[in-house]
Structure 1
């Protein structure tokens, strides 16, 4: 087994330092912004049919409302993480939130499909810039140890809860008001953060001013765009579709180019010695698996609730409120468990809890009596998933100096956003293959069950990775 650098021991520490009044305000401002960014990933999912009817989207064009956002949010994260290191993370954070507010206003008032798609592109770019900048401000505002673990725990809880809340909020706003409010709700929130943040958040940037590795930035950005595009096409058309294969192969080739560029660059975008750190490499892989599994499980259960049990979109969305409560509980619990044990223990224990809760869903049937199984399982799965997410965030950003926190949080944000983006297409392709074109309640249940089994296996693989490569040495 590979020998790895031990994670920092936390057992037996002195009493944890307390948050000061200023740090509480900093934490609140950053958490509100990150929650809003997470909501944007899912708030339009339920509203897509209404948007299509209102603006006249074609059936094929409708998926670009989600894809345009996902491509930019996942593809440009690492690039903007380094731009934040160069230009100042506070400046990038505020600028991207201003862009998000303007783009949300444009999307809410959009009279044509073209303007709405452009608004989603701008929202995705704003998210790609704001997420790593916000995380870097969080990690540099709080010293490594209990305070940072608590801040990352709350951040992880609200981000995961935001993804779930987006599904609920999108259904409520679309049913009670209009799909346009799924965009417009961002405007006052972004404005409030922009008014509060300049006075309480200090600028953060490395002491040195490295040059931008443009070949590395272009190759990794285009490579990620290719991978994400290929995955979205695979989810819609299948893994053998020419567009899916072209995107995946081109993306993989560009990522190979990126690796070669980084080996030769004088000031690389991602220094390879950082990627070789076990905490960075394995931590980010665990984060990728955590977001792939839980966000795609929401998609699978949405199919089950609507296609098998016959729930409305609003009722299905409200059912995920239990999952949201589980993620919040897990986020509050994680820093306490890390302080009493270790980060590796949280990763392994949380993964085992999520695996068990996901596997239980294999027993779901074709009647509403299965809700008695689904609701507690999703709550416990949310707790386990959030333990893993907080453990991943702490692991992937621990032991690196402040001048590399933009890189560390950029990598963590990239893992998170690619995981959110790729989970649903992967599970969608599995369901499509399993049902073989038959869309009856029983066939959908079978397809969802097969995909849930794969989902549980992916979570268990993360447990094995944490146990083998991230255990602290005796």
Structure 2
């Protein structure tokens, strides 16, 4: 590598945005306390962040072609910095959602596709392969450093300082952005497909909203929805509306393409089997990862009572092994082929999830838990080492922004669905298990069972058992029944957590179905004609 300066600027941006999400995941309990809110509210904030990125990532990729990739990179960083500043000063959870989920999410949707394309423009041949490898390693470093750094700052200082520090880092990147070169485009720049952008954002938004709200609305039988549809919960109707809007989006894109207008996405890209399979596997990867990274901190913080720093320490094994494996396993794909490496990764993930299930107990076994986390990181690292390469290798130079937008859309849609779906399953399993434990507990009177059933109709929350004990005492229950209700809730917590983690295991096994068209060749070179540079360039990890 003769020219490191562009890579330092672009890599710092990648590191910053991965760090951001890692910090938020280990600060859940502190955010609940600071804003006097509930876990489900913070779940919604985290999901909204990933959803905003997923909804606008394709738009960001197209805007890079229209406005220029470096200009969009700078604009996205400015938006991201404004969001970070607002998040650091947020007085309420709604301002937190505006600053972090919406404004930072929009900034990231502009920065990431432009960054992927600028790496390809700045480096060629073997240098490009090294550059993408460094970008991927920095993403892994963000995952590794985020929980520990965020946990320490949250526990001993304030989580707000992390976002204040991001503003400083963004300002530093902006000071040196001119070291990143951008080639001059000779062909006419496309126009933004405004209707397609609106349809894609609305369709994705409705789909994820339905999944997210299923924990409070119910899937079929209404639990506590704002309205019902023919007596049923609105969840499936909202998800179906999202599917209809996305179908309209596909029809609109095909129509524009047929009339020679610029679509938001060239749908024929998705007819390339390696690209399609790579995108689906990326979605599955982030669904599993973010589902687990939402569930596991709840176990550590709410059930075990660890603070953010102690949580970060226990997540460190997965971060370290993911970083090391993702940086070292790229060569493995050249020997085994991407498809075999990805399938090996899925087998490793399934084994890690089974091991993790065995560690979800009232008293944590730190050694067993660390082993499961380390194995989980190996599986994730194997996936991360191959999928970016497969996706980026399916594009030629003119398609890099668009394919980068598709790549990060798949990743962030997986993140949004992971937090929403696994969180919903967790709350639903908690409610069912708590109901069962209360009904079967011989220490509880019929009156107590009746009071508990009424309370459950209003919705159940994932809270520390001390809060359940206090609520039972305020209800005037005798001490023996207070203990019985608290014990039933504690058992239901573990049942809910195991159900949610088991669901990620099911998604892992289902992931084998989308690996069929992953390349078996040495560098994942697809059959679609493309430049030699593209075939050798591993993509960034998010």
Into which bin does the TM-score normalised by the smaller protein fall?
0.7 to 0.9
Q: What is the alpha-carbon distance in structure 1 between the residues aligned to residue 521 and residue 180 of structure 2?
A: 40
Q: Which residue of 1 aligns with 2:214?
A: 234
Deviation for aligned residue 1:362: 2.6
Q: Which residue of 1 aligns with 2:189?
A: 209
Instruction: Tell me if the contact between 1:355 and 1:456 (Cα under 8 Å) persists in the aligned partners.
Output: yes
Question: Compared with structure 1, are the counterparts of its residues 312 and 319 closer, same or farther at alpha carbon in structure 2 (3 Å cutoff)?
Answer: same
Render the CA deviation track for 1:377-418: whole Å, top value 9, x for unaligned.
221221221221231111111132111011111000001111
Question: Compared with structure 1, are the counterparts of its residues 63 and 395 closer, same or farther at alpha carbon in structure 2 (3 Å cutoff)?
Answer: closer
Secondary structure of the corresponding residue to residue 191 of structure 2: coil
Instruction: Tell me if the contact between 1:89 and 1:205 (Cα under 8 Å) persists in the aligned partners.
Output: no
Q: What is the alpha-carbon distance in structure 1 between the residues aligned to residue 32 and residue 347 of structure 2?
A: 41
Secondary structure of the corresponding residue to residue 269 of structure 2: helix
Alignment match of 2:114 (pick from 122, 133, 144): 133
Do structure 1's residue 32 and structure 2's residue 51 form an aligned pair? no
Q: Which residue of 1 aligns with 2:397?
A: 402
Q: What is the alpha-carbon distance in structure 2 between the residues aligned to residue 131 and residue 410 of structure 1?
A: 8
Instruction: Tell me if the contact between 1:233 and 1:243 (Cα under 8 Å) persists in the aligned partners.
Output: no
Q: Which residue of 1 aligns with 2:463?
A: none
Render the CA deviation track for 1:135-189: whole Å, top value 9, x for unaligned.
2222333336x55444434433433553464343333222211232132121111
After TM superposition, the score normalised by the length of structure 1 is 0.86
Question: Compared with structure 1, are the counterparts of its residues 195 and 470 closer, same or farther at alpha carbon in structure 2 (3 Å cutoff)?
Answer: same
Q: What is the alpha-carbon distance in structure 2 between the residues aligned to residue 236 and residue 42 of structure 1?
A: 26
Deviation for aligned residue 1:63: 5.3
Structure of higher CA gyration radius: 2
Question: Compared with structure 1, are the counterparts of its residues 294 and 204 closer, same or farther at alpha carbon in structure 2 (3 Å cutoff)?
Answer: farther
Q: Which residue of 2 aligns with 1:44?
A: 24
When structure 1 is superposed on structure 2, of 335-344 and 151-160 the one drifting more is: 151-160
Do structure 1's residue 472 and structure 2's residue 520 form an aligned pair? yes
Deviation for aligned residue 1:54: 4.9
Q: Which residue of 1 aligns with 2:527?
A: none
Q: Give matches, 1:101-120, under 5 Å.
A: 101-111=81-91, 115-120=95-100
Q: Which residue of 2 aligns with 1:457?
A: 506
Q: Which residue of 2 aligns with 1:159?
A: 139
Alignment match of 2:247 (pick from 231, 240, 256): 256
Secondary structure of the corresponding residue to residue 210 of structure 1: coil
Deviation for aligned residue 1:58: 8.2
Q: What is the alpha-carbon distance in structure 2 between the residues aligned to residue 372 and residue 67 of structure 1?
A: 31
Deviation for aligned residue 1:427: 1.4
Q: Which residue of 2 aligns with 1:4?
A: none
Render the CA deviation track for 1:41-64: whole Å, top value 9, x for unaligned.
242344455456556668886555
Q: What is the alpha-carbon distance in structure 2 between the residues aligned to residue 398 and residue 40 of structure 1?
A: 28
Instruction: Tell me if the contact between 1:81 and 1:406 (Cα under 8 Å) persists in the aligned partners.
Output: yes
Q: Which residue of 1 aligns with 2:160?
A: 180
Q: What is the alpha-carbon distance in structure 1 between the residues aligned to residue 234 and residue 186 of structure 2?
A: 41
When structure 1 is superposed on structure 2, of 52-61 and 232-241 the one drifting more is: 52-61
- The number of residues matched between the two structures is 452
Q: Which residue of 2 aligns with 1:441?
A: 490
When structure 1 is superposed on structure 2, of 297-306 and 186-195 the one drifting more is: 297-306
Q: What is the alpha-carbon distance in structure 1 between the residues aligned to residue 38 and residue 340 of structure 2?
A: 49
When structure 1 is superposed on structure 2, of 362-371 and 217-226 the one drifting more is: 362-371
Deviation for aligned residue 1:248: 1.8
After TM superposition, the score normalised by the length of structure 2 is 0.76
Instruction: Tell me if the contact between 2:152 and 2:308 (Cα under 8 Å) persists in the aligned partners.
Output: no
Q: What is the alpha-carbon distance in structure 1 between the residues aligned to residue 246 and residue 313 of structure 2?
A: 40
Deviation for aligned residue 1:470: 2.1
Q: What is the alpha-carbon distance in structure 2 between the residues aligned to residue 299 and residue 283 of structure 1?
A: 24
Instruction: Tell me if the contact between 2:215 and 2:428 (Cα under 8 Å) persists in the aligned partners.
Output: no
Deviation for aligned residue 1:191: 1.3
Q: What is the alpha-carbon distance in structure 1 between the residues aligned to residue 210 and residue 147 of structure 2?
A: 24
When structure 1 is superposed on structure 2, of 354-363 and 287-296 the one drifting more is: 354-363
Secondary structure of the corresponding residue to residue 440 of structure 1: helix
Question: Compared with structure 1, are the counterparts of its residues 67 and 297 closer, same or farther at alpha carbon in structure 2 (3 Å cutoff)?
Answer: closer
Instruction: Tell me if the contact between 1:38 and 1:159 (Cα under 8 Å) persists in the aligned partners.
Output: yes
Instruction: Tell me if the contact between 1:88 and 1:203 (Cα under 8 Å) persists in the aligned partners.
Output: no
Render the CA deviation track for 1:422-458: whole Å, top value 9, x for unaligned.
1122112222232326273332222222222221222
- For structure 1, list consecutive stretches of 5 or more residues without a partner in the other structure: 1-18
Instruction: Tell me if the contact between 2:46 and 2:419 (Cα under 8 Å) persists in the aligned partners.
Output: no
Alignment match of 1:169 (pick from 139, 149, 171): 149
Q: Which residue of 2 aligns with 1:3?
A: none
Do structure 1's residue 430 and structure 2's residue 425 form an aligned pair? yes
Instruction: Tell me if the contact between 1:207 and 1:403 (Cα under 8 Å) persists in the aligned partners.
Output: no
Do structure 1's residue 197 and structure 2's residue 169 form an aligned pair? no
Q: What is the alpha-carbon distance in structure 2 between the residues aligned to residue 205 and residue 348 of structure 1?
A: 39
Instruction: Tell me if the contact between 1:283 and 1:396 (Cα under 8 Å) persists in the aligned partners.
Output: yes
